């Protein structure tokens, strides 16, 4: 899961238009699956612009939410929103700035595949929760479930064969349920389970799909930023030819994430490896 230059976001606004609108929909369904009661202390690692933290506050009446992200720009965007009971800090997912066992729930949304050592991050998530507390995360299904990204990289490879190596489906092979299950069990977590979380991605028109690719941040927009104008136009036209445009001009696709959850074993009890 090696990081490349354009994997690092510096603009919360650019992220919101490109991926944030879909990440919020997936976060809502993820939290329904996690099904936690009110009054808990939550840790949100790789919080980004605060979508998951905000939904935790809205849906679960938490005692406290702490969002942590290495991007100062993302943390600033998250902190600017009036999210009750939530605070945000800059920090490294692989060396969290928190004490052991001080949270009831630890979650991470759409982050693990961008980390150089995801196993270290999962161990840190497990360290941060109390014994018996759940640790859960979700990542996009880049291999088969991201309709608009699949269309983009298919078009990119058709116009530039070298683009195939940049496709997230190839770069992030560890985003399936088996790999996630293994990460959780290897971290010593018990009662591990996975599920698919699918949401519609409806674009008002082709421009609503294409324009976020011009922001220059994130793997696909970063690739577009390297292209000369003529090559960029060829890619745009190839993408337009590959997506279903309805009679009203809208583009309707789907996005799928894989979610995983497990429990930090009680003290002095070995983990269970249930599937």
- Cβ neighbours of residue 141 under 8 Å, at least 6 residues apart? 175, 176, 196, 256, 257, 258
pLDDT at 273 over 50: no
SS3 111: coil
Rounded CA-CA distance 174/274 in Å is 20
pTM of the full structure? 0.88
Can you say whether the dihedral through the CA atoms of 74, 227, 161, 239 is positive or negative?
A: positive
SS3 268: coil
Q: Residues 215-231: pLDDT tens digits?
A: 887 889 999 999 999 99
Domain positions in the chain are 5-263
pLDDT at 20 over 80: no
* 103-104-108-112 Cα dihedral, nearest 10 degrees: 70
Share of the chain above pLDDT 90, in %: 77
Residue 8 pLDDT class (50, 70, 90 cuts): low
CATH of domain 5-263: 3.40.50.150
Q: Residues 239-251: pLDDT tens digits?
A: 999 999 999 999 9
Question: What pLDDT score was predicted for residue 118?
Answer: 96
């Amino acid at each position: 899961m090696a990081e490349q230059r354009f994997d690092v976001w510096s603009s919360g606004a650019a992220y919101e238009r490109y991926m944030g609108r879909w990440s919020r929909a997936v976060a809502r369904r993820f939290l329904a699956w996690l099904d936690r009661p009110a009054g808990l202390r939550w840790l949100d690692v790789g919080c980004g612009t605060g979508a998951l933290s905000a939904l935790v506050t809205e849906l679960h009446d938490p005692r406290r939410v702490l969002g942590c992200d290495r991007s100062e720009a993302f943390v600033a965007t998250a902190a600017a929103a009036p999210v009750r009971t939530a605070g945000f800090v800059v920090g490294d997912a692989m060396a969290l700035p928190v004490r052991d066992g001080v949270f009831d729930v630890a979650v991470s949304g759409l982050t693990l595949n961008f980390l150089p050592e995801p196993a270290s991050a999962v161990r840190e998530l497990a360290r941060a929760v109390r014994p018996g507390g759940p640790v859960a995360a979700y990542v996009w299904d880049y291999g088969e479930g991201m309709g608009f990204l699949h269309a983009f990289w298919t078009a990119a490879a058709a116009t530039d064969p070298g683009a195939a190596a940049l496709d997230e489906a190839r770069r992030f092979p560890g985003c399936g349920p088996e790999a996630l299950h293994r990460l959780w069990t290897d971290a010593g977590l018990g009662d591990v389970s996975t599920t698919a979380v699918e949401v519609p991605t409806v674009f008002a028109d082709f421009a609503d799909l294409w324009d976020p690719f011009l922001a220059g941040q994130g793997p696909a927009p970063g690739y577009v930023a390297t292209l000369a104008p003529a090559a960029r136009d060829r890619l745009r036209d190839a993408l337009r030819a590959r997506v279903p445009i309805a009679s009203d001009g809208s583009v309707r696709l789907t996005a799928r994430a894989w979610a995983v959850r497990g429990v930090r074993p009680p003290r002095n009890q070995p983990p269970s490896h249930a599937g």
